[in-house]
């Protein structure tokens, strides 16, 4: 089946997120995309398997199936997450976390600088923030501005409106904070260092249909398109839809 999925609830309704979870878990191609992304988080956990890790905006994801000692959380009251948490006010002691993971969440935080201050406080020395978020590339701008419901404004400010956790966003926020305003980030968060920004996922998520569309290709083709991603790697700074930002506390 190809076409747009029918979601009967408002985007900010917790039932929509629960429906998204069902879609992710029951759409093989899309689930493989999430596993592809989750590898970035697993790498950090493998450095210290017994550490304390937090996922913000767990939403419809299933990372805890792979990282059992993960604390899952969301701003919305969801029955399958451990805690209801606002990223701007983390309920953890100083230097108590080894890692904080965000998948498609950073661009929904109204005041990301408050989250970064909290992360700086809560992370142990050498602890890491791993952010997977939309990238600002020639191809991604075409897709996000023309075919996606969320705004993408690479010239926007450092904050977004609050009050609607999913429908309020600027998909370019991670680009703004960690690339466009990198000098400001380094000045304002002296104990946080950007280790790497990796561009990826040119085709896979688009072909999966995400949570809004049915897949455009059958699940058995995932390996073919995953191989194509590797071929595209040298030019993904221009074609990638997503980027992984790894930040370490010094």
Residue 4 resides in a domain? no
Residue 51 resides in a domain? yes
Task: Note the pLDDT of residue 21.
Answer: 98
Distance from C-alpha of 69 to C-alpha of 163, rounded to nearest angstrom: 30
Residue 6 resides in a domain? no
At 21 the three-state DSSP class reads: helix
Query: For residue 196, what are the β-bridge partners?
Result: 246
Query: For residue 46, what are the β-bridge partners?
Result: none
Looking only at the bridges linking them, the beta strands covering 242-249 and 123-134 are: antiparallel
* Residue whose pair of structure tokens reads 């309704």 in the numeric block: 13
Domain of residue 163, CATH code:
3.40.50.150
Task: Note the pLDDT of residue 188.
Answer: 98
Task: Note the pLDDT of residue 1.
Answer: 58
Degrees to nearest 5, angle at CA 166 with 66 and 194: 60
Helix axes 28-47, 14-26, angle to 10 degrees: 100
Task: Note the pLDDT of residue 147.
Answer: 86
**Six-digit token pair at 92?**
């953890």
Q: Which range of residues forms the domain containing residue 94?
A: 14-249
Residue 1 resides in a domain? no
Task: Note the pLDDT of residue 22.
Answer: 98
**Six-digit token pair at 108?**
């929904």
Looking only at the bridges linking them, the beta strands covering 83-84 and 192-200 are: unpaired
State the burial class of residue 4 (Cβ atoms within 10 Å of its Cβ: 0-12, 13-18, 19+). Answer: exposed
Number of domains comprising the chain: 1
pTM of the complete model = 0.97
Please name which of 174, 153, 173 lies closest in space to residue 247, comparing C-alpha atoms: 174
Residue 52 resides in a domain? yes
Task: Note the pLDDT of residue 2.
Answer: 67
Please name which of 148, 171, 141, 241 lies closest in space to residue 200, comparing C-alpha atoms: 241
- 126-158 pLDDT, tens digit per residue, is 999 999 999 999 999 999 999 888 999 999 999
Residue 130 resides in a domain? yes
Residue 177 resides in a domain? yes
Instruction: Give the chain's residues under pLDDT 70.
Output: 1-2
């Amino acid at each position: 089946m190809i076409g747009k999925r029918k979601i009967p609830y408002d985007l900010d309704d917790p039932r929509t997120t629960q429906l998204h979870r069902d879609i992710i878990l029951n759409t093989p191609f899309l689930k493989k995309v999430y596993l592809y992304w989750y590898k970035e988080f697993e790498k950090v956990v493998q450095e210290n398997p017994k550490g304390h890790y937090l996922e913000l905006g767990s939403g419809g994801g299933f990372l805890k199936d792979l990282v059992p000692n993960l604390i899952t959380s969301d701003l919305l009251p969801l029955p399958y997450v451990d805690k209801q948490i606002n990223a701007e006010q983390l309920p953890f002691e100083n230097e108590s976390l080894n890692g904080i993971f965000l998948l498609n969440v950073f661009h929904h935080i109204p005041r990301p600088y408050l989250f970064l201050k909290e992360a700086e406080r809560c992370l142990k020395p050498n602890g890491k923030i791993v952010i997977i978020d939309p990238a600002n590339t020639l191809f991604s701008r075409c897709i996000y501005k023309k075919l996606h419901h969320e705004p993408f404004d690479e010239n926007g400010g450092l904050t977004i409106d609050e009050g609607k956790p999913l429908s309020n966003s600027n998909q370019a926020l991670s680009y703004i904070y960690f690339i466009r305003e990198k000098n400001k980030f380094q000045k304002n968060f002296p104990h946080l260092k950007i280790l790497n920004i990796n561009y990826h996922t040119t085709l896979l998520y688009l072909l999966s249909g995400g949570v809004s569309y049915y897949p455009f290709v059958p699940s058995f083709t995932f390996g073919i398109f995953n191989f194509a991603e590797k071929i595209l790697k040298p030019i993904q700074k221009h074609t990638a839809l997503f980027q992984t930002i790894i930040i370490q506390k010094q």
